[in-house]
């Protein structure tokens, strides 16, 4: 948070307009307009979390209890929760080992007549391979909702993520590439969907106090939106610093070959929300010990995600999957860990991270 965000928040408090009945006050409208421009889409709809954004998108896609939603298991809980909230069945597809993103080939295996939505997650800030996913969905009349919670500013074949499916959802949680503390946004080019999304964000109201479909109170407040506008203006600078920090890690951390470094396939521009490495051939115990030793040196190494969704009891029941069902997902969950690279870290900080990790990993 800088001076701009603080002034923006104070100006909202002084204005006396903290929100409005449809969650579309002047600051929210400004944030939506500017966010849509950034992504290169016609519309953006602001809500109060990324999870709420995904829930709105699934409801707008018409997801109901008889439907399946196809998602990766190697992701944050926020990807799965909205599926369960719709009463739908989460169906999990495996990931590609080099990118950790959902595998289009495995989507083909997991798809069925019940599949209503495919929800690819641009994990760690790297776009999924969207062309084959969009093609599979198009052939079968399935809606694609991008989970872009971690991928503000990422690109796929010179298009911004958030413009590649029918709808896309972003989070402004504090660990994201830009933040408002909590917050979310849905982007779309569809003029009908945007009306539906706005209704869902306000209890499903068609007009004031006339509720005609299920919705919720998912309003973004004016103060949050004002902070969002200020952050959006700095996003380019944040992304550039993340990229520079990632480069320092890539140049310095992997010399021994024991770590597989993150990939940036041709035509894809990473947004470096996380810098995730794989300890080749390791089991979870060995990886966890390395992470502990790095953390002992005052470096905030983290594991995203130690337990894939399909192995959580809640999802095991819903999906019917067992250990061993998604081998690449389970292998990644045992072997990956992430290193800090946020824009507050200097080149010296990054060299300290790289040196320390190199010494510990060997």
Residues that bind ligand PLP (CB under 6 A): 49-51, 75-76, 78-79, 121, 147, 149-150, 171, 173, 184
Q: How far is the CB of 294 from ligand PLP (least distance, A)?
A: 22
Q: Is 311 helix (H, G, I), strand (E, B) or coil?
A: helix
Write the DSSP string, 136-172. Answer: HHHHHT-EEEEE-TT-TT-EETTEETTSSSSEEEEE-
Q: How far is the CB of 284 from ligand PLP (least distance, A)?
A: 21
Q: How far is the CB of 124 from ligand PLP (least distance, A)?
A: 9
Lookup: tokens for 116 = 């209503």
Distance CA 258, CA 177 (A): 28
Which of residues 67 and 147 has its CB atom nearest to ligand PLP in the complex? 147
Q: How far is the CB of 302 from ligand PLP (least distance, A)?
A: 12
Which of residues 23 and 78 has its CB atom nearest to ligand PLP in the complex? 78
Of the candidates 327, 177, 226, the one whose C-alpha atom is nearest the C-alpha of residue 4 is: 226
Q: Which residues contact 169 (CB under 8 A, 6 or more apart)?
A: 50, 53, 54, 57, 145, 146, 147, 148, 149, 184, 185, 186, 187
Q: How far is the CB of 121 from ligand PLP (least distance, A)?
A: 5
Distance CA 320, CA 311 (A): 10
Which of residues 23 and 184 has its CB atom nearest to ligand PLP in the complex? 184
Residue carrying structure tokens 């990324």: 50
Distance CA 166, CA 120 (A): 12
Q: How far is the CB of 28 from ligand PLP (least distance, A)?
A: 16
Distance CA 93, CA 192 (A): 30
Which of residues 171 and 202 has its CB atom nearest to ligand PLP in the complex? 171
Which of residues 184 and 308 has its CB atom nearest to ligand PLP in the complex? 184
Which of residues 69 and 361 has its CB atom nearest to ligand PLP in the complex? 69
């Amino acid at each position: 948070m800088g001076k701009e965000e603080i002034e923006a928040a104070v100006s909202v408090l002084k204005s006396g307009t903290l929100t409005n009945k449809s969650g579309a006050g002047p600051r929210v409208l400004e944030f939506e307009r500017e966010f849509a421009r950034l992504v290169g889409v016609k519309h953006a709809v602001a809500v109060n979390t990324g999870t709420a954004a995904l829930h709105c998108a699934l409801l707008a896609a018409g997801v109901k209890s008889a439907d399946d939603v196809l998602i990766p298991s190697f992701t944050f809980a926020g990807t799965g929760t909205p599926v369960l909230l719709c009463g739908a069945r989460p169906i999990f597809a495996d990931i590609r080992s080099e990118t950790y993103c959902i595998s289009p080939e495995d989507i083909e295996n997991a798809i069925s007549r019940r599949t209503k939505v495919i929800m690819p997650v641009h994990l760690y800030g790297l776009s999924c391979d969207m062309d084959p996913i969009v093609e599979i969905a198009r052939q079968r009349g399935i809606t694609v909702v991008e989970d872009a919670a971690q991928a503000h500013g990422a690109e796929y074949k010179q298009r911004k993520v958030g413009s590649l499916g029918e709808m896309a959802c972003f989070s402004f949680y504090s660990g994201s590439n830009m933040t408002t503390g909590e917050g979310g946004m849905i982007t779309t080019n569809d003029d009908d969907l945007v009306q539906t999304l706005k209704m869902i964000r306000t209890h499903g109201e068609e007009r004031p106090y006339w509720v005609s479909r299920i919705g919720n109170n998912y309003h973004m407040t004016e103060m949050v939106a004002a902070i969002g506008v200020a952050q959006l203006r700095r996003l380019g600078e944040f992304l550039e610093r993340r990229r520079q920090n990632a480069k320092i890690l890539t140049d310095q951390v992997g010399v021994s070959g024991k770590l597989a470094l993150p990939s940036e396939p041709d035509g894809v521009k990473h947004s470096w929300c996380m810098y995730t490495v794989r300890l080749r051939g390791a089991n979870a115990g060995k990886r966890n010990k390395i992470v502990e030793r790095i953390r002992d040196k005052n470096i905030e190494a983290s594991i995203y995600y130690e337990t894939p969704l399909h192995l959580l009891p809640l999802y095991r029941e819903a999906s019917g999957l067992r250990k061993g069902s998604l081998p690449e997902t389970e292998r990644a969950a045992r072997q990956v860990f992430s290193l800090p690279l946020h824009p507050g870290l200097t080149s010296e900080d990054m060299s300290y991270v790289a040196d320390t990790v190199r010494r510990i990993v060997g």
